[in-house]
Amino acid sequence: MTVSIVYKGHLRCECTHNQSGTVIETDAPTDNRGKGERFSPTDTVCVALATCVVTTMALKAGDMGIELAGTSIAVTKHMISDPRRIARIDVVLNFPGSLNLQEKERTILQRIGDNCPVAKSLHPDLNVNIEYHWQTN
């Protein structure tokens, strides 16, 4: 993957994914002298974690004949200072009740999610909490 980034000034960056041309912008958060009008760089770390969890689970689920479409995810970032950094990321996945998975299938998918590439790339001091909520009909 190659990304081209241009610093636009006023604490904003424009990031272009070279293969697809997709553009995202980042902005500093309001509690750190930014406008808070876009995802902050630390927000994108949290988004990367959550989307990696569900994407790797979906890859394995596909191999198992399971479709995870309709899964919703809530992500909460907790910052601390001295030095300013992410202290904790809470990820809560809510799966649709229509799945009706066996306990073994849930366990397999949760292990995949817990071990996604982004989770394995984060610093061990970062507290990552991933919750899996399997709805039942």
Whether residue 2 sits in one domain with residue 15: yes
The answer to whether the CB of 66 falls within 8 A of the CB of 101 is yes
Strand partners, 76: 90
Domain at 74, CATH number: 3.30.300.20
Residue 137 pLDDT = 62
Q: Mind listing the pLDDT tens digit for each residue in 8-52? A: 999 999 999 999 999 999 999 999 999 999 999 999 999 999 999
End-to-end CA distance of the chain: 41
The range of the structural domain enclosing residue 92 comes to 40-134
For the chain, the domain total comes to: 2
- Per-residue pLDDT, averaged over 61-69, amounts to 96
pLDDT band at 131 (very low <50, low <70, confident <90, very high): very high
Whether residue 60 sits in one domain with residue 127: yes
E strand residue ranges, 58-99: 72-80, 85-95
Whether residue 75 sits in one domain with residue 47: yes
Whether residue 50 sits in one domain with residue 32: no
Residue 110 confidence (pLDDT) above 80: yes
Percentage of the chain surpassing pLDDT 70? 99
The answer to whether the CB of 89 falls within 8 A of the CB of 129 is yes
Residue 136 confidence (pLDDT) above 80: no
CA distance 36 to 39: 7
